Amino acid sequence: MADIVSPPPEAAPDWTVPQDWARYTAHEHAIWDLLFARQSAQLEGRAAKAFLRGLDVLHLSKPGVPEFRELSDRLGALTGWQVVAVPGLVPDAVFFEHLANRRFPAGNFIRSADQLDYLQEPDVFHDVFGHVPMLADPVFADYMQAYGEGGLRSLGFGALDKLARLYWYTVEFGLVREQGGLRLFGSGIVSSHGESRFALDDPSPNRIRFDLVRVMRTRYRIDDYQQVYFVLDSFEDLLRQTVETDFAPLYARLEALPDLAPDALLPDDAIITHGTQEYARGKVLID
């Protein structure tokens, strides 16, 4: 998401652009293949079943950068979602409008070979590999639409920063309980070679059971691995909490509560892993 209000000249009013799949070079397709092979091998047994199933049913293992039209046909048949190309980050209202109408905006560029392990702005690999498999799951697909609808409403309450934390700690960096352990599903984790190991294996971060108010009070890092991960009991529970909550009084309540640092622990937290915070010690927090 971004604060820019006018689309670039090549974009439509809703900020969409043609993917122009034919323009990808053999080198760019090879970068996708390398990233896909590396991540899909690493995620077996570590990612949520819904994510791995999405990779399979959407045929994302097909060589080369996916063609959005073909991908949308498969995705639409499953959950009614489609993938639309955008030139980069889009304004908040535009982003929410797309989600509310079951359109996922994905960057149409791919990182260079020297950016395999870190990229500041989301590219087609982060957006498609990281986000789209979960949209093949009916429950998570409904959550994403509900989030978009809630995002549009949040603009009238001046509470975008609070709602952004919900997106960050679920869609981007969420964990879920599955098969007696923790599994990855957040796009920022599953598309990251380093964080897909760190989020489950490293002793540094706190891992806390998901609580809606707790999450929306908690600041987050954008410059490094997370200091806290919130763990869902299930995607069904996440959807239920989202659609059954009246966010207007919740925003008013949050205004009266102090924000929490990413490494904070509260007496009533359901702590799954009490982290050492060794990794984050001495690093500068960026909100």
Q: Are 10 and 98 in contact (CB under 8 A)?
A: no
Q: Are 78 and 136 in contact (CB under 8 A)?
A: yes
Q: Is 191 a catalytic residue?
A: yes
The pTM score is: 0.93
Task: Copy the structure tokens of residue 32.
Answer: 């996708």
Percent composition of the chain: helix, strand, coil (DSSP 3-state, to 5): 45, 10, 40
Residue 201 above 50 pLDDT? yes
Q: Are 267 and 208 in contact (CB under 8 A)?
A: no
Q: Are 128 and 64 in contact (CB under 8 A)?
A: no
Mean pLDDT confidence for 67-92: 96
Counting Cα atoms < 13 Å in the Cβ hemisphere of 173 gives 26
Q: Is 28 a catalytic residue?
A: no
Task: List, for residues 223-280, the tens digit of each pLDDT value.
Answer: 889 999 999 999 999 999 999 999 999 999 999 999 999 999 999 999 999 999 888 6
Average pLDDT, the chain: 93
Mean pLDDT confidence for 158-167: 95
Q: Is 204 a catalytic residue?
A: no
pLDDT of 1:
45
pLDDT of 122:
86
Task: Please choose, from the candidates 260, 254, 14, 91, the residue with its C-alpha nearest in 3D space to the C-alpha of residue 157.
Answer: 254
The structural architecture, per CATH, of the domain 21-273 is Orthogonal Bundle (1.10)
Task: List, for residues 21-63, the tens digit of each pLDDT value.
Answer: 999 999 999 999 999 999 999 999 999 999 999 999 999 989 9
Backbone angles phi, psi at 117, to 5 degrees: -100, -15
Residue 80 above 50 pLDDT? yes
- Catalytic residue (choose from 28, 72, 154, 172): 172
Q: Is 67 a catalytic residue?
A: no
pLDDT of 280:
67
Residue 184 above 60 pLDDT? yes
Determine the distance from the C-alpha atom of residue 109 to the mean position of all C-alpha atoms in its chain, rounded to a whole number: 18
* 23 φ/ψ sector (left φ>0, alpha ψ -120 to 50, else beta): alpha
Q: In what order do the strands lie in the sheet with 271-273?
A: 181-184, 175-178, 228-232, 206-209, 271-273
CA 276/CA 274 separation, integer angstroms: 7
- Catalytic residue (choose from 28, 72, 97, 131): 131
- Catalytic residue (choose from 154, 191, 192, 196): 191
Residue 283 above 80 pLDDT? no
Task: Please choose, from the candidates 169, 142, 155, 10, the residue with its C-alpha nearest in 3D space to the C-alpha of residue 81.
Answer: 142
pLDDT of 2:
45
Pairing of β 175-178 and β 181-184? antiparallel
pLDDT of 115:
80
Query: 3-state class of 99 per DSSP?
Result: helix
- Catalytic residue (choose from 98, 126, 187, 195): 126
Domain ranges of the chain: 21-273
